[in-house]
């Protein structure tokens, strides 16, 4: 899948509500480090995820190597926040690529920031942006969207693979354009796992795993 909005499979995943709540990750996930993205200012510095995602994050922490901690940068976003973030990135791309038409700009934008009018995993409470700390310091993982690296060293690859192994074991799936972005129970997760159903909490697009 190239990006969320272009996937026929993702668009056709069925949705159903099972009433799972959003919870404060700091209160529900033991020993997690919370550090909000500078570009995402919402929820008064708190990060919310679905109850099922919180349980999975606890599983991730239980399987971390000694001396490592999980740091979370983002979780649930409301539609207004996602829209502001998307339009801001679209504006940045337009400035950097003045010759591209609107359609091409949007196709490029959705590789890294989901269009809230199409499908946005962070709106579900099922997506998280995470990384690792070793002895309290960030390990070498490469840049986030606002500082993308041109060169990825072997050390960076090894560190990303370590995170990927632990997150995947807990049941999360990764969006391949972003090493930090993992989801559980949303439509992208369902498509990657060839599921036919994900669950939706009406009013805030809360998609939940159907078992």
Backbone angles phi, psi at 156, to 5 degrees: -60, -45
Indicate the pTM of the whole model: 0.80
Burial of residue 147, with CB atoms counted within 10 A of its CB: 0-12 exposed, 13-18 middle, 19 or more buried: exposed
pLDDT 10s per residue in the chain (211 long)?
444 444 556 777 777 766 789 999 999 999 999 987 765 566 777 899 999 999 999 999 999 999 999 999 999 988 888 888 889 889 999 999 998 999 898 888 888 787 877 777 888 899 999 999 999 999 999 876 544 556 788 999 999 999 999 999 999 999 888 899 999 988 888 888 775 455 444 334 444 333 2
Residues comprising the chain, all counted: 211
Contact 32, 61 (CB under 8 A): yes
Domain spanning 4-209, CATH class: alpha beta
- Residue ranges covered by each domain of the chain: 4-209
Reported as type and span, the H/E element at residue 97 is none
């Amino acid at each position: 899948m190239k990006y969320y909005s272009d996937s026929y499979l993702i668009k056709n995943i069925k949705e159903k509500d099972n009433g799972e709540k959003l919870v404060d990750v700091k209160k529900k996930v033991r020993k997690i480090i919370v550090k909000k993205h500078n570009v995402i200012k919402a929820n008064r510095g708190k990060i919310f995820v679905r109850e099922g995602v919180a349980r999975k994050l606890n599983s991730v922490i239980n399987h971390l190597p000694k001396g490592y901690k999980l740091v979370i940068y983002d979780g649930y976003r409301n539609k207004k926040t996602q829209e502001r973030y998307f339009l801001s990135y679209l504006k940045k791309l337009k400035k950097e690529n003045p010759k591209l038409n609107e359609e091409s700009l949007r196709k490029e934008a959705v590789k890294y920031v989901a269009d809230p009018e199409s499908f946005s995993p962070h709106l579900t409470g099922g997506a998280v942006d995470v990384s690792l700390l070793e002895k309290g310091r960030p390990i070498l993982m490469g840049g986030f969207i606002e500082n993308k690296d041109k060169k990825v060293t072997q050390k960076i690859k090894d560190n990303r693979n370590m995170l990927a192994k632990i997150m995947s074991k807990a049941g999360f799936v990764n969006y391949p354009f972003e090493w930090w972005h993992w989801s559980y129970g949303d439509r992208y997760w369902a498509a990657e796992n060839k599921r036919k159903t994900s669950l939706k909490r009406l009013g805030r697009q809360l998609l939940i795993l159907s078992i």
